[in-house]
Each structure stands twice: as C-alpha cells, then as structure tokens.
C-alpha cells in the first residue's frame, strides 16, 4: 500500500510471508518506509493502521519487523501502534562500511489469536 499526495509518494508499506514453512503460516513480515520530509505528520500511523487491518482480514495472527536500532522514529511508531520490541541483533547489517544493530519487533493481532 502507498500513501501519496499530489502524485508524491509519502510512504509505503507491504506484508510478505515471514517464512515459507507450514509451521509459520499466519505470520507476516512488515516492510514500511516513510519519506523523511513527512515523518511526524501521521503518515506512518495511517499506513500502520491500514496494514494492521489488512493483516487481520487476511487471517494473520502475528506480524514481525526489523529496523536499524538507531531509527528512533521507527521505534516511536512501533510503540505508538502497539508493537513490542523482542530483541536486538548485534552487528546484523553492514551499510556504508559500518556494522549496525537491528531491532526485532512483533505485533500480535488480538482478533486472530488461536
């Protein structure tokens, strides 16, 4: 899904299968991006609301996500929308020649708990 204004993409979000194994059915992975100029304007919250509704209607019971540990805006968005931080992968990705830690988050969809 895409958030746009006057044909300008403000942000986007997508859900994909977490793992392609029957034991992981019902878990989706979230990717979300908000244009830096439109952060703190509600774009992230609206995309998150839409993606949570989509996940619920698709029957998912859990969504997981990961983002760079120094992404304070991502951490704030997750806290505001009911996500839980479950851990940190140390030195998990290398960008620009530097190692970065990655935060792991999850959201349990109440309506679809088994």
pTM score: 0.86
Is the per-residue pLDDT at 62 higher than 90? yes
Is the pLDDT at 86 greater than 90? The verdict is yes
In degrees and rounded to multiples of 5, residue 72 shows phi and psi of -60, -35
Question: Is it the case that residue 78 has pLDDT exceeding 80?
Answer: yes
CB-neighbour burial class of residue 51 (10 A; exposed 0-12, middle 13-18, buried 19+): buried
What homologous superfamily is domain 2-112 in, according to CATH?
Answer: Gcn5-related N-acetyltransferase (GNAT) (3.40.630.30)
SS3 of residue 83 by DSSP: coil
**Statement: residue 76 has pLDDT above 80:** yes
Burial class (CB in 10 A: 0-12, 13-18, 19+), 5: exposed
Percent of the chain residues topping a pLDDT of 90: 74
Q: Which residues make Cβ contacts (< 8 Å) with residue 36, sequence separation at least 6?
A: none
User: Nearest 5 degrees, angle CA 105-CA 109-CA 112?
Assistant: 140
Q: What are phi and psi of 78, to 5 degrees?
A: -60, -45
The tens digit of pLDDT for each residue in 7-52 reads: 888 999 999 999 888 788 999 999 999 988 888 888 999 999 999 9
Q: Where are the domains of the chain?
A: 2-112
């Amino acid at each position: 899904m895409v958030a746009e204004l006057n044909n300008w993409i403000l942000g986007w979000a997508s859900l994909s299968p977490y793992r392609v194994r029957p034991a992981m059915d019902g878990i989706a992975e979230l990717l979300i991006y908000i244009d830096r100029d439109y952060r703190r304007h509600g774009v992230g919250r609206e995309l998150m609301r839409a993606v949570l509704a989509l996940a619920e209607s698709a029957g998912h019971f859990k969504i997981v996500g990961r983002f760079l540990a120094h992404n304070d805006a991502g951490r704030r968005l997750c806290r505001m929308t009911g996500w839980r931080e479950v851990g940190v992968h140390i030195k998990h990705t290398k960008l620009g020649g530097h190692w970065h830690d990655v935060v792991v988050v999850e959201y349990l969809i109440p309506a679809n708990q088994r």
